[in-house]
Amino acid sequence: MQKLFKIIIFTGTFLFCFLYKAQVGINTTTPNSNSALDINASNKGFLPPRVALTSESSPAPLTTHVAGMVVYNTATINNLVPGLYLNDGTKWQQVSTFSNNNGTVTTKIKYRGRNLDTNGYNKPTLQIPTMNLEFRFATTSGSTYLEVRLLSAPSSNVTYYANELWFGTSTSGAIQSVTFTPANWNVWSQALSNGVWNNPWGYQYQISTRDGVVPGSNDLLTGNFYGFNNFNNGAGANNEMYVLAFEQY
């Protein structure tokens, strides 16, 4: 009876303290008042749940997308690599850190088979939210182009400048630019393509803006776009490999 009484007293005291104090502290008696959970350690780390994600767009193995959910992905599949991922409510994004002075962030997609108009351009696109850019290869009426558009409407006209280099049977370069307006921001443009990409060549673009990705912000956002195009390399239209990548720095 006395043991039961002690258990009741202990449980009641714990529940009272938990309900009275909204913060929970681990290895600390004074958790930060702005945190729900405050973990204190000098020689240990935080180990998040380790799961095998299946794609950026699928919540699996979770049942639904939850904004703010953090996991460590263990799988290498569908452009996913092992690492820490954050869910924005609609998809998974790998957590990366860089600044104006340190680090780069590389985003890429790879697939086989031409992105044909007759198939409704069903291949993946390369999205770069920090640059507000979306890239794709598109084969229209038998000719392949590099196409680009914005992910969201700009407040005013914004021009992206690109120093282009291509290499294959020969090497050369050019200076390209594309301007988007609040009216045409989501229309695919071939302005950076510099003609038809009907050869198995590689391409590199150094891309930046004059007044900032957000017009007038004068930000320092810039990066390299890489395109690997295996058009007509002998593998067949359904087996040619295509790669699009962007290195933010």
Confidence of residue 1 (pLDDT cuts 50, 70, 90): low
Whether residues 9 and 52 fall in one domain: no
Give per-residue pLDDT as tens, 76-115: 887 677 888 888 888 888 876 555 555 567 788 999 999 9
The total domain count for the chain is 3
Tell which of 95, 115, 133 closes a domain.
95
Whether residues 188 and 77 fall in one domain: no
Whether residues 188 and 210 fall in one domain: yes
pLDDT > 80? residue 52: yes
Whether residues 6 and 111 fall in one domain: no
Whether residues 32 and 51 fall in one domain: no
Give per-residue pLDDT as tens, 126-162: 999 889 999 999 999 999 999 999 999 999 999 999 9
Whether residues 34 and 151 fall in one domain: no
pLDDT > 50? residue 59: yes
Whether residues 69 and 30 fall in one domain: no
Please state, in angstroms and rounded to a whole number, the distance separating the CA atoms of residues 244 and 226.
Answer: 6
Whether residues 86 and 143 fall in one domain: no
Contacts of residue 174, Cβ cutoff 8 Å, sequence gap at least 6: 164, 194
DSSP code for 130: G
Contact 193, 208 (CB under 8 A): no
The two beta strands, 50-51 and 70-73, are parallel
Whether residues 20 and 60 fall in one domain: no
Whether residues 152 and 69 fall in one domain: no
The boundaries of the domain holding residue 112 are 98-248
Whether residues 84 and 103 fall in one domain: no
Q: Which residue has the higher pLDDT, 177 or 38?
A: 177
Please state, in angstroms and rounded to a whole number, the distance separating the CA atoms of residues 200 and 138.
Answer: 15
pTM higher than 0.75 for the full model? no
- Give the pair of three-digit tokens for residue 9: 């007293």
Whether residues 91 and 58 fall in one domain: yes
